[in-house]
Structures are given as C-alpha cells and as structure tokens.
Chains A and B, each alone.
Chain A
Amino acid sequence: MSTLILRTASNYLLPVLLVFSIFILLRGHYLPGGGFVGGLIAAIAFVLHAFANGLDDTKNLLRFHPGFLMPVGLALAFFSGLSPIFVDQAFMTGLWFPEPFPVIGNVGSALFFDIGVYLVVIGVTLTIIFTISESA
C-alpha cells in the first residue's frame, strides 16, 4: 500500500491533519468538535502516516510510545478538575480567565479537561492500533 504518491502526500498531510485536529479541539466549546473527535482525527493522521511509510517510521517520528499520552492526559484532566479545590470551589467547577485570549478564545479549566481527553484518545487509539498491527 506504500505507493509513492501516498508516501509523499502523507508527509504533508500529517502536519495539516494535526493542526486540523487541534482546531477541532479548540472550537469544540462553541461549535461542533471537541477533544474526543480531535483526538480521533489526530490518531487517524498518525495511522495514515504509518500506512504510507511503515509503522517503524511513524514510531521514530513520535519518539515515545503513544501509550505515555494516556497517563499524561488522565493526569491533565484530573488536575483540571481538581484546580477549583485550591480556590475553595467544589471539584470540577469550571474556572475561566476573565479575558479571552487571541486566536484561542476563552480559556478555562474545561479546556484543559478537553485537552486531557484529546491526549487520552490519541494514546488509546494509537496504542491499540499499533499493538494490533505489530502482532498481526
């Protein structure tokens, strides 16, 4: 399946798709999108790259096992939920910066929670697909 066209295209598609996935992640609070879909799109980007260039290439590109994204994401989601505790609010109360940031928009604890979901979904999907394709 590693044709020249696909291989060349995938090198350009990977960053585009990743940026797209982040776009989807960030717009999730106002428009269709969010961490779950964003994570799936990012995972698809890597899988496409792996199809074109072989699994080892993608792994080298990643430098670390995608499984490590799972604890990182879980921790991020957990601590974003925990953060209101420090300002005497209940667990998982939404906290927001008063002014919106340029490009990103409003930033709050829910965004970090969503980033956590995003990372976990990438980690889970890639771990499962990489493991299965290695053993198939």
Chain B
Amino acid sequence: MNAMTPPLNATDGRRAARSHIETPRLETPFHARLIALSETNDWYSWSGYKAPHKLFDEELEYFAIRSTAALFDISPMVKYRISGPDAERYLNRLTLRDVRKLGINRVHYTAWCDDHGHVLDDGTLFRLGEDTFRLCCQERHLPWLLDSAFGFSVDIHEETEEIAGLALQGPTSCATLLAAGFSGVERLKPFDIASFPHEAGTVTISRTGFTSDLGYELFVSRALALSLWDRLWQAGKLHGIRAIGYAALNTARIEAGFIVANTDFITAEAALRADRVRMPDEIGLDWLVDPEKPNFNGRKAILEARRNQTLKHILVGLEIEGNIPAEHAIVYHGKKREAGLVTAAIWSPTAKRNIAIATLDRPYGVKFNDDLWVEIYALRELRYQKMMKRARIVPRPFVKLARRTLTPPGTF
C-alpha cells in the first residue's frame, strides 16, 4: 500500500484483518502436489496444517512403505534451530540424553522434561554443526526453550514455516534417492546426516524415519520444496514411489513401537489433570535418561522417583489374541482388576500379529505380567460385540527389518 492508496473503509478493514478465516488450516509447501494426488480428499489437522489422512487407499499406502517407497510430508513437524557457542551445553541441560556424545551430522532421538521430571515432548535432535542444531517435535515449545536459554549464549529460532520436510521411507527409498542424483546417500548409516545440492540451495538428508524401515528424511527451504518433490517423484517412478497419508504411517510406526506425544502419553503442558503427566520411565523412555551427564531439567525428580519407587505407570507393547485391533481398550488383570489402557492398536500387516501399545498402572507390567486381558468393543452394525482377549507383554519394536540398518542398502 502506498500513500496514494485510498484508505479502506471500516468493513473492508475488518474483513482484511480476518482474512485468515478463509484458510482455516495452513497449507504446507507441498500442498499443491498433495491436493493433485488426493483421490479421497481426506484431510486432518496436524499442528494447524492441512495434512492428508489418506490420499488414495490406506492399505496400499501402507504397503508402499513396506514394499517400495513412500513419500510423506513432514513439514508440519515443529522445528527449532538452536545455535550459538552454548548450544551444546544448553541442549544438554534441556534434554535427557548426553548431547556431548552426539557427533556432527548425527541425529538422536531424545525427550525433555519440566522441573518435576514430567515429559514435555519427545523428538529428534539433529547436530548440523559444532554449534548448530535442529530440534524436531510434535508440540510447540518456544516459551519453554526461550526461558531455558537464560544464562546461555544461544539463539533459538522457530523454523517450522520456512523449512519444508519430506520423509521417504521404504525398501526402494535409497534407490530412489540415487536415481534422483543424490549419490553418496547410500553411505549414510542410520542417524547420519549429509547435505546435497538442490537447485540453488541444499537439501539436508538424514537416514531417519518413523517406520522402522529403510528410510530418509529430507529438509529443504520452503522455496525449493516443490522442485524437490518433483525431483523425487520423477526419480521414484520406476521404484514404485507413492505419496502417503498419516493413516499408513501410523500403522508403520505402531509396528516400529514408536510413541506419539498426546496420543500415547499426555505432555506435561497439555495435561489438565494432575495425574496425567508422565515421567520418562513411565512411557518407556527411561533409556534416554543419563544420570552421569551434567545436570538437566527433571534430573532430580526422575532419580528421586526411581529411588523412592514412586513411578506409577509403565508403557508396554502387547500382543493380543485374535485379529481385532484393541484400540483404546481397557487392560485387565485376571479379567477383573483394571490395569491400564491401550493407546494404539492395529492388526500388523507385516508381523501378522494383533499388536498394541498400552500404558499400565504399576505394579502391572512390572510385577504382574501374566493374566492380562483386554476388553475389546467391536461395533458391528449398531451393536457392540464385547470380547475379552488375552494379552501378552512383548518387546518393541514389533517389526524388525534387517534393511533398516543395512549399509549400503540394497538396490532395487
């Protein structure tokens, strides 16, 4: 608007100020491609972004992950760039694992807690340089990250909007990347990062994913998003590349035994009820806690809870008889006493097992591991069919594939 532009009248002004209501959900940098591929028009909201629940067929999309190459838009994932001379020390105080052990061009999975040891979120931490990191997670944490920066020389920058992300997962994902010209990608070991030129910029490729399969995640500036998509799409044609929605990915992640914040546990800042918060040990993340490293948020509370044995819950993998997914079923001990809740459950197409992730109230899952049952309510033509099915605690991941870690990966 310049000085010659006539001023808006009041109504136009109000209308202009609320133009956001015309696009109630944000569109990701890949939206143009997704909408062109969407046959089902089935969308959901991921952190305010319009994201596909499925694009053409949930099962076929799932089998793209396990049989060929699946392309999944992860742009809505919350991303922070953390840099500065104290970045390592800052992140070491913020998160559970020892960041000093995270090499440059490496990624690790981690989580972070509040002062009471309650998990705020889990996510992946990318070390892009000596003093530069990227933290990816489900929920937004800018106030917490900024408050944590007191006393540290560190710059925290939210880059969710400006950085586009793609996950390329499946047995032919490496072959697809090679066909797209990213040669050298085959040398990446799990959790390695490398940068490649793309157009006028670079794309950062890491061998990471949420599927327990061979797979990669690609990050690129928003402006280069569509050209990157096209490059992969073109290269992947002979490798069976398919765009997928969250339903397919969710099946794969349950097989992988991965948990999702505010699905399998409630994050400390989202929990409204005092007993819904969780310590790392209560959601299967005890292995992230490093008591030997320098002080970190929640350390005292977590170690005290371990010492005093005041941990109240435990997260377990279950294998359930039959083939009916036990989603949100109550877990019983001896068919009578309530012992917990299933937070995610599927019939696993790859394991050919009926699997679930559940939170149990200790001592169930710790001392009493037998005689566990789940009560499944299957709604069949307007009548619930109730089933009491035996559940067995089994280790996660439910699906373990040699190709996930094989380097160099097989070419197809």
Q: Do A and B bind each other?
A: no
